[in-house]
Amino acid sequence: MLGKPFNLEGKYLLVTGAGTGIGRGIALELARQGADVAIGYCGSSQGAIETVEEIRGMERRAVAIQANLTEVANCRRLVDEAVEFLGGLDGLINNAGITFTKNFQNVTEEDFSRIFNVNIRSQYFTCQQAVPYMIERGEELRSRYPDCPWAGGSIVNMSSAHGFAGFVGHSVYAGTKGAVNAFSRELAVELCPKHIRVNVIAPGTIEVPSYFKADPSYTREVGNSLVPWGRAGLPEDVGYLAAYLMSDAAEFMTGHVLYFDGGLTAKMAIQYTPPERVQ
């Protein structure tokens, strides 16, 4: 492994959906740990620009690249442009995703196609485009540092607690996240010979700006009440885990779905308070 295992200095990383929310939190933490970062975004141009400026303020290189990932050609272009700017690719975080809440019987064909195209198809084809660049990067590092084994490339695909347990109104979204989990496990096995690891972060309640826009009654206290740990997660929390998975310290970890949820998926949903028992 090159350098200090938890350090991201010298790493070239791409984060999709990084103009706001979890993606922004991830991109900023990667830069804090020393990485140069390409920011993929669709509609959050102002957030992407601000993220790039903040990263540059850390004296790291950054660029924002607009791409509508419902189109496979844009998935490929995003990766190509990120590599052109960075000069290589060590890691990819597929964070871009969309959701909606709608009763199963009211979901249209257009609803279904749009969310699957963004949440799973875009991950599939950005991974496909990124892998050859990661292999090339490994060959470069091996030639430059023959005495230091390459720790491997790293792909992190973002899923959700919805991929584990059901919640009313999320039949399509949950389906995409279950697909992300299965696809990523398979890809991890397929890429082991290429020395590229693939893992999944599946967040639970992570407070992002859209929470407040979608539900004006939402407050931090409401979010805290939903999580067994006692507080809602924040984008920077996910950033810490993503930074670890991008680092050489995670070299032996691949094929895992990491539920990052403050105990949410571990807790039974039954609302029952058992009577006290005298021991």
Q: What is the pLDDT of residues 96-132, one digit of tens each?
A: 999 888 899 999 999 999 999 999 999 999 999 999 9
Establish whether 177 is a catalytic residue. Answer: yes
Single out the catalytic residue among 44, 122, 154, 160: 160
Give the number of domains in the chain. 1
Cross-strand partners of 94: 157
CA end-to-end distance (rounded Å), the chain: 53
Establish whether 160 is a catalytic residue. Answer: yes
Q: What is the pLDDT of residues 49-61, one digit of tens each?
A: 999 999 999 999 9
pLDDT(278) > 80: no
Residue 214 confidence (pLDDT): 75
Q: Is residue 266 part of a domain?
A: no
Single out the catalytic residue among 12, 41, 122, 177: 177
When pLDDT is cut at 50, 70 and 90, the band that residue 234 belongs to is very high
Q: Is residue 3 part of a domain?
A: no
Query: In terms of residue numbers, what domain contains 98?
Result: 12-260
pLDDT(1) > 50: no
Helix locations, 95-153, DSSP H? 109-116, 122-144
The region of weakest confidence among 7-16, 39-48, 187-196, 204-213 is 204-213
Contact present, 86 and 36 (Cβ < 8 Å): yes
Which pTM value belongs to this model? 0.92
Q: Residue 194 is encoded by which pair of tokens?
A: 């290429």
**CATH number where 17 lies:** 3.40.50.720
